């Protein structure tokens, strides 16, 4: 049996802000083609971990290896070029550009930049079709509703041609129908060959899409395993889910 390829490895990551230890000796791996759910109560360290992985913050100690390369402390643009892209909880498009223009900007950078404007436009059109924005590609981004802004945030990240996509609470504010559509989109992204780490508070989403779930609490890892196993872990239930959240 062929073992899974480790795409990302974090070893003993720690990050403090003044006297606050936001991440404390956290280690985990992500395999190629895997979706890792990342959960925990508010203040658990999820956003800080994303910031470390994407280069926004530098760890006080520990190492991050991606695709066999040590990327610890690299600048965000270099990490993006290495093949890691992220979204933010609050979408940040270029508001005066169209969705097509936003995605074309992304295709001009990242791991495999487009070689021409024609290529950038053609590939941006494909990404907009994948994310359900093809019919709104020439509108001004500023007039898009919440759902479409979130889709555009994903499209812009995909435009950098990542091997790993970090999704940060993309379901917040969506109704059940919109959540189902977002789940389907995440699965299509994984099927295209992109691995994902997904921060999400909607347990329906995490349980339905994740191959594994990593749980943080007060900056420390308290669980890492299959979804149902983690959802029934007494320590996770106590720290985050509550009795009603157990599956």
Summarize pLDDT for 177-228 with one digit per residue, the tens.
Answer: 989 999 999 999 999 999 999 998 888 789 999 999 999 999 999 999 999 9
List of residues 6+ apart from 63 with CB closer than 8 A: 10, 11, 12, 13, 70, 72
> Is 247's pLDDT higher than 60?
no
**Confidence label for 242 from pLDDT (cuts 50, 70 and 90):** low
- Residue 178 and residue 56 in one domain: yes
pLDDT, average across residues 24-31 = 97
Decide which of 134, 161, 188 is a domain's last residue: 161
- Residue 68 and residue 181 in one domain: yes
- Residue 79 and residue 166 in one domain: yes
| Per-residue pLDDT at 1 | 41
| Per-residue pLDDT at 110 | 81
Cα radius of gyration rounded to whole Å, the chain: 18
Cα→Cα distances 93→11, 48, 51, 87, 122, Å: 33, 22, 19, 11, 20
Nearest to 204 by CA among 75, 82, 80, 37: 37
Using H for helix, E for strand and C for coil, what is the string for 23-54? EEEEEEEEECCCEEEEECCCCCCHHHHHHHHH
List of residues 6+ apart from 126 with CB closer than 8 A: none
- Residue 122 and residue 166 in one domain: no
Q: What is the Cα–Cα distance from 101 to 180, expressed in whole angstroms?
A: 27
Residue 88 lies in a domain: no
pLDDT, average across residues 123-135 = 94
Residue 89 lies in a domain: no
Decide which of 161, 194, 214 is a domain's last residue: 161
Residue 1 lies in a domain: no
> Is 246's pLDDT higher than 80?
no
Domain region containing 36: 6-83+162-245
Task: Tell me the per-residue pLDDT of 86-113, one tens digit each, with 9 for 90 and over.
Answer: 998 888 899 999 999 999 999 988 888 8
Domain harbouring 39, CATH code: 3.40.50.300
- Residue 156 and residue 169 in one domain: no
pLDDT, average across residues 135-143 = 91
Count other Cβ atoms within 10 Å, centred on residue 171.
Answer: 20
> Is 66's pLDDT higher than 80?
yes
Residue 179 lies in a domain: yes
């Amino acid at each position: 049996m062929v073992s899974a390829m480790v795409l990302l490895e974090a070893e003993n990551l720690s990050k403090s802000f003044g006297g606050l230890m936001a991440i404390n000796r956290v280690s985990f791996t992500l395999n190629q083609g895997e979706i890792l759910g990342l959960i925990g109560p508010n203040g658990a360290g999820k956003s800080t971990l994303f910031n470390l992985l994407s280069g926004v913050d530098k760890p006080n100690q520990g190492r991050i290896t991606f695709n066999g390369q040590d990327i610890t402390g690299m600048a965000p643009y270099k990490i993006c070029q290495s093949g890691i892209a992220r979204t933010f909880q609050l979408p940040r498009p270029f508001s005066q550009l169209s969705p097509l223009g936003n995605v074309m900007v992304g295709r001009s950078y990242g791991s495999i930049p487009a070689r021409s404007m024609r290529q950038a436009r053609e590939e941006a059109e494909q990404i907009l079709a994948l994310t359900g924005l093809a019919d709104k590609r020439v509108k001004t981004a500023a007039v898009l509703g919440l759902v479409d802004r979130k889709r555009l945030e994903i499209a812009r990240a995909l435009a950098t041609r990542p091997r790993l996509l970090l999704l940060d609470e993309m379901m917040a504010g969506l109704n059940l129908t919109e959540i189902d559509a977002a789940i389907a989109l995440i699965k299509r992204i994984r099927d295209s060959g992109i691995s994902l780490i997904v921060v999400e508070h909607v347990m329906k989403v995490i349980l339905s899409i994740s191959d594994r779930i990593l749980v943080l609490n007060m900056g420390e890892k308290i669980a890492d395993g299959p979804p149902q196993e983690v959802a029934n872990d007494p320590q996770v239930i106590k720290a985050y889910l509550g009795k009603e959240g157990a599956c």
